[in-house]
Amino acid sequence: MTDRTIEGYSRLRGAAHLRNDEAEGEVRPRFLRAYPVWCEYALMAVGILVVFPVAYFPWTNLNVSAPLAIAILLEVYLIRPRYVKSLSWLLLPAFLFIIATVVSSVHGFLYRPDQSMIGGIQLMLRFIYWPAIMVAAASVVAFTPRPRRFLYVLGWSVVVLSALRVGSTILAGGGRPDAFGLSPNNFGFLFSSFAMIGLSFPLILKNKKLGVFCAILCTLAILADASRGNWVSIGAAVLVLTWTLRRQFRHLFVLAAVLTCLAGIVYFSFGHLPSENDSLIVQKINSFRNLNEDPSYTTRKAMTRKAWALFLEHPLLGIGPGGFTEVQAQFTLPQRLKGKSLAKMNTLSAHNAYAQLLAEQGLFGAIPFALILLFIFYRGWKASNGASTKNNIIPQVCLACAVATCIHLWVIAAITGTQAWLVLGLLAGTSSRRGVVMSTARGRRRVVRLST
């Protein structure tokens, strides 16, 4: 077994008992995969299909990656369940969230008897599927010998997506065109979820020039998409990434902080950006100065008020998954929307994943989801600060992706999709790489603990 077979083999925390085994006549242990190699390739394929959501199954409305994901679920939970048990810290809140989903769905059937039974069951199954695939992805990543490959696959996927986005914008002559079946909001959330990998390519790839080119391409795509939620999310994620990399790259955080401060000082000191043709990007940037007059922002503000009104009516169990756009609520519209019909506003999306979850599942569903985020980010932050070499920045990149994803969820109701759950699973897996399965010459198996 070469040193490259297991990352960080020289830093094995169990080196003492390995030397004792060698003294008893055993040879150096070799790596055994916790899961078959097809699980890793299937998870990579799931990642590609999530970045390129080309189609959905009609009855379940799940991504076309669902068959591969279900195969992984069977392997993780039924065939080799002993490994996923090591993620008990994640299994417990995920299981509680699934229970809360079932209970709130039953309550939704009783509260809204006119809703489609088939549609309610479909949505309930999807809410069971997403946390299940999150835990399964975390388990596969935690026990794979080379988690860097997942970053390569997702990174190159988002680079290709960036090229397609930039190309569609150029062909459309600017603006925010729909392309490849994706709306600008879909593009924005996909970039928030995975673009940090492409932006980190100058630090990940051996070919630094190619890495810089990929980062520039991703930056152009983010600008071209003109999604303010995406901009804010990526900006916060860049600061988090550079802060966690301050030990490996000492001047990176200082450079990012200085550039951010300078951009803010210039913008708020000199007012609106000058533009001869007042392009969409400039309009979006200038809108930050007066968000209360922006229709998109005020609509999201109104939907947050509706979610709060629904939560106050049903604080424990909510109104049931999928009920946000179906239930009428009385709430005050912002001044910018005073002329709008309240009945029409009640049919709009929540545009806020957390507000939607609170309204639809109440405290019974919101608390387990909050625990999932709390545990994952705590372990992810701990693992990111524990990684001290330039060759091991996987936890930091996954943490930055999760930060961008969770911030963007504040302005988009995208919890009902695989992207966010997959990103959380990647962070949970990379922050739980505590051990790998080994075997000795005598055929015995053990779990050897690895440093993150």
Res 122: pLDDT: 83
* pLDDT band with cut points at 50, 70 and 90 for residue 163: very high
Res 150: pLDDT: 92
230-282 pLDDT per residue, tens? 999 998 999 899 888 887 777 676 667 676 676 666 555 555 555 545 567 77
Nearest in space to 223 (alpha carbons), one of 176, 154, 159, 291: 176
Res 451: pLDDT: 40
At residue 58, φ and ψ (nearest 5 deg) are -65, -40
Specify the pTM. Answer: 0.85
- Listed range (62-71, 258-267, 300-309, 367-376) with the worst mean pLDDT: 258-267
Q: Which long-range contacts link 383-392 to residues 24+ away (Cβ below 8 Å)?
A: 383/430, 383/431, 383/433, 383/452, 384/244, 384/431, 385/244, 386/451, 386/452, 387/248, 387/452, 388/247, 388/248, 389/248, 390/203, 390/248, 390/249, 392/7, 392/8, 392/452
Nearest in space to 303 (alpha carbons), one of 323, 325, 336, 335: 325
Angle of helix 37-51 versus helix 117-142 axis, rounded to 10: 130
From the CB of residue 347, how many other CB atoms can be counted at a distance below 10 Å? 11
Res 449: pLDDT: 45
289-315 pLDDT per residue, tens? 788 888 888 999 999 999 999 999 999
CA distance 117 to 370: 28
Res 153: pLDDT: 95
* pLDDT band with cut points at 50, 70 and 90 for residue 21: very low
* pLDDT band with cut points at 50, 70 and 90 for residue 12: very low
- Listed range (60-64, 168-172, 215-219, 400-404) with the worst mean pLDDT: 60-64
- Find out whether 368 and 97 touch, Cβ atoms under 8 Å: yes
Q: Which helix (H) or strand (E) holds 282?
A: helix 280-286
